[in-house]
């Protein structure tokens, strides 16, 4: 059984709840991704996406320097354990229409597993592709 621990990214950049959304946007730009976890002392409080920032701040004409991450983030975050089977992780992504899952152990973030991480394990390429296809179909 291959577990999430074997494919997850361990060095995860995160924002704090009271960081301005501009800090989250700059972090997304710098690490070339569309979302970052929001953590308080390594405990996951939420996830903020580029879409969250656009819809909840920019589109409303709010000042992105004064709106905090906790004002825009998604609070109900799907997580898994490092010991979660990679097949179960792919199923969770498809079921919840998400492309990444925060990995938590003892209530602390220890990594993140993205759909691309699943695709790096050749055995799971078809499964990751199927999950992404299902995610894409449900979003549109």
pLDDT in tens, 66-101: 999 999 999 999 999 999 999 899 889 888 888 899
Q: Nearest to residue 79, comparing CAs of 112, 98, 101, 100?
A: 101
- 121: number of Cβ within 10 Å: 14
Q: What is the C-alpha to C-alpha distance for residues 111 and 4, in angstroms, rounded to an integer?
A: 9
Cα angle: 2, vertex 11, 65; to 5 degrees: 130
Quick check: 62 and 54 in contact, CB under 8 A? no
Pick the CATH number of 4-139 from 3.10.580.10, 3.40.50.620, 1.25.40.10, 2.40.10.10: 3.10.580.10
Domain boundaries along the sequence of the chain: 4-139
Grouping H, G, I as helix, E, B as strand and the rest as coil, residue 89 is helix
Ranges of the chain with pLDDT below 50: 123-125, 139-140
């Amino acid at each position: 059984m291959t577990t999430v621990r074997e494919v997850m990214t361990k060095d995860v950049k995160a924002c704090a709840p009271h960081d301005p959304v501009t800090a989250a946007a700059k972090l997304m730009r710098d690490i070339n991704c569309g979302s970052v976890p929001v953590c308080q002392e390594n405990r996951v409080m939420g996830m903020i996406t580029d879409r969250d920032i656009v819809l909840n701040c920019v589109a409303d004409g709010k000042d992105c320097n004064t709106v905090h991450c906790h004002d825009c983030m998604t609070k109900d975050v799907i997580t898994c354990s490092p010991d979660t089977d990679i097949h179960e992780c792919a199923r969770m992504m498809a079921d919840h229409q998400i492309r990444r899952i925060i990995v938590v152990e003892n209530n602390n973030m220890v990594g993140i597993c993205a759909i691309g991480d699943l695709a790096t394990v050749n055995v799971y390429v078809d499964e990751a592709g199927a999950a992404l296809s299902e995610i894409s179909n449900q979003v549109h």
